[in-house]
């Protein structure tokens, strides 16, 4: 049982699903990247930058301790002209700067140094200043030798211990900064790997979607090709049936009704001979005979219009030579018929299709264009046969919702011969109101009669 095309699912649902999945993947990955970089910024702000500022404060503390060490060295110099009490103001300035540096460093050092290290540093610094106060007290009492001994025995060892502790803190800060840099590098590497995985996933999604779309399109194209083939076959059968029906009707009209009317005319002619010419019956018989003859002529014209016998007997060119003047008489159009090129014989079946295209085009000119004249051009080209029908009427503008069966039939007839048919305004646009040009192009190999 043939599957109903209406029940086939198109690729739209799958494509929408693939699009939604891709968008969600992009959004999720964008959120992941945003979080990672936010973590990097926080890490740099809270650890790396803080460690650097903390290191600057520790260097400031170390510089103050070195200043204390240099001052104490100068104080121990026996050649120094100033008394030890004169150094009190310098020590006080260094102490003030050192306290400010310690406060600033305490705000920055949350993770390093540890609480034990900080307590040790604060305790050692307090002990140093206590010893320093005792040293200056001895110096104020004039006991400079005892004060210098206090510097050598207490202050210098404590200053060296403080300098060593600050150096260890600087080393720890450098190590913490290196660890933070390593963590940042690890995050970058992880983000980079995730990016590669994401790109690979997106690529796989694109490939899968493309393969799905290609597969669906192949099925749709195959179905469309099958439907096109069926449509073409159906159109060919319909046109063949139409031509067969028209040929049958034409022959019936020409043979049956034509013979009957011819016989009636002959009988009326013989009857008229037996009736006196001056009698009323003779006139009536003559009138009936004329009516029969006119009817016979109309039937013959209708028979030729349905299926010209000339196509089979004399070919396309002679049929058009007869048909164009006939259309002029029947429609009142002024037709300009032109022929050019080196003639070649046209096969009868192909001639029927070309004749029908010309017939439909001229019917459209007569019924819809409002034009008073038209141009028919038949050209025998080396590679093809060309037929143009042109008018300067209202133009080609199909009404929305109309199927245009005549135009469809014209194109089907052209396709049956392997040709093309175009209908356009004279300036190249449809529906311009400046006239219509119907162009038929058929390969010569499809229409030419070949002698066997």
> pTM above the 0.85 mark?
no
- Top-level class of domain 310-447: alpha beta
Task: List the one residue out of 115, 97, 96 whose CA is nearest residue 106.
Answer: 115
169, 43 Cβ separation under 8 angstroms? no
Q: How far apart are CA 2 and CA 285, in angstroms?
A: 66
What torsion, rounded to 10 degrees, do the Cα atoms 390, 391, 392, 394 define?
-120
Please report how many Cα atoms fall inside a 13 Å half-sphere around the Cα of residue 452, on the Cβ side.
1
Where along the chain do its domains lie? 9-214, 310-447
List, as one string, the DSSP characters of 160-227.
HHHHHHHHHHHHHHHHHHHHHHHHHHHHHHHHHHHHHHHHHHHHHHHHHHHHHHHHHHHHHHHHHHHH
Residuewise pLDDT in 10s, the chain (452 residues):
444 444 445 566 766 776 787 788 778 877 877 777 777 777 666 666 777 788 888 888 889 889 988 888 888 887 777 788 888 889 999 989 988 988 888 777 654 545 677 778 888 888 889 988 998 898 888 888 888 898 888 888 988 888 888 888 888 777 777 777 787 778 778 877 877 887 787 778 778 877 877 887 788 888 888 887 777 777 777 767 776 777 667 666 666 666 777 777 777 777 777 777 777 777 777 777 778 777 877 776 676 666 677 777 888 888 888 889 988 888 889 999 999 999 888 888 888 889 889 988 998 888 888 888 999 999 999 999 999 999 988 866 555 445 567 788 888 888 888 899 998 877 644 444 578 899 999 999 888 876 54
């Amino acid at each position: 049982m043939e599957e109903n095309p209406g029940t086939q699912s198109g690729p739209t649902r799958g494509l929408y699903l693939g699009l939604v999945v891709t968008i969600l993947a992009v959004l999720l990955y964008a959120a992941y990247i945003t979080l990672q970089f936010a973590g990097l910024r926080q890490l740099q702000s809270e650890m790396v930058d803080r460690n650097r500022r903390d290191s600057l404060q520790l260097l400031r503390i170390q510089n103050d301790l070195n200043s204390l060490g240099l001052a104490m060295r100068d104080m121990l110099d026996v050649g120094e002209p100033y008394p030890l009490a004169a150094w009190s103001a310098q020590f006080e300035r260094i102490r003030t700067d050192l306290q400010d540096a310690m406060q600033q460093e305490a705000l920055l050092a949350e993770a390093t140094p540890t609480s034990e290290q900080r307590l040790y540093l604060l305790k050692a610094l307090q002990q140093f200043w206590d010893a320093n106060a005792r040293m200056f007290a001895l110096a104020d009492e004039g006991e400079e030798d005892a004060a210098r001994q206090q510097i050598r025995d207490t202050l210098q060892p404590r200053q060296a211990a403080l300098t060593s502790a600050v150096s260890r803190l600087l080393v720890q800060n450098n190590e913490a900064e290196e660890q933070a840099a390593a963590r940042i590098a690890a995050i970058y590497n992880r983000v980079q790997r995730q990016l590669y995985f994401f790109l690979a996933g997106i690529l796989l999604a694109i490939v899968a979607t493309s393969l799905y779309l290609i597969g669906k399109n192949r099925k749709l194209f195959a179905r469309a090709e099958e439907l096109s083939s069926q449509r073409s076959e159906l159109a060919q059968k319909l046109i063949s049936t139409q031509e067969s029906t028209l040929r049958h009707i034409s022959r019936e009209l020409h043979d049956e009704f034509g013979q009957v009317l011819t016989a009636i005319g002959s009988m009326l002619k013989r009857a008229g001979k037996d009736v006196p010419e001056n009698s009323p019956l003779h006139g009536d018989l003559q009138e009936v005979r004329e009516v029969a003859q006119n009817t016979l002529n109309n039937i013959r014209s209708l028979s030729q219009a349905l299926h010209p016998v000339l196509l089979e007997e004399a070919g396309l060119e002679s049929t058009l030579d007869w048909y164009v003047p006939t259309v002029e008489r029947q429609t009142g159009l002024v037709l300009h018929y032109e022929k050019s090129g080196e003639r070649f014989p046209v096969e009868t079946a192909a001639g029927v299709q070309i004749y029908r295209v010309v017939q439909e085009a001229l019917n459209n000119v007569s019924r819809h264009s409002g034009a008073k004249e038209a141009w028919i051009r038949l050209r025998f080209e080396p590679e093809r046969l060309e037929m143009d029908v042109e008018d300067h009427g209202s133009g080609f503008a199909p009404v929305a919702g109309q199927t245009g069966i005549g135009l469809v039939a014209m194109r089907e007839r052209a396709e049956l011969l392997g040709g093309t048919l175009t209908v356009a305004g004279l300036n190249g646009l449809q529906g311009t109101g400046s006239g219509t040009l119907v162009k038929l192009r058929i390969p010569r190999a499809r229409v030419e009669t070949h002698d066997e």
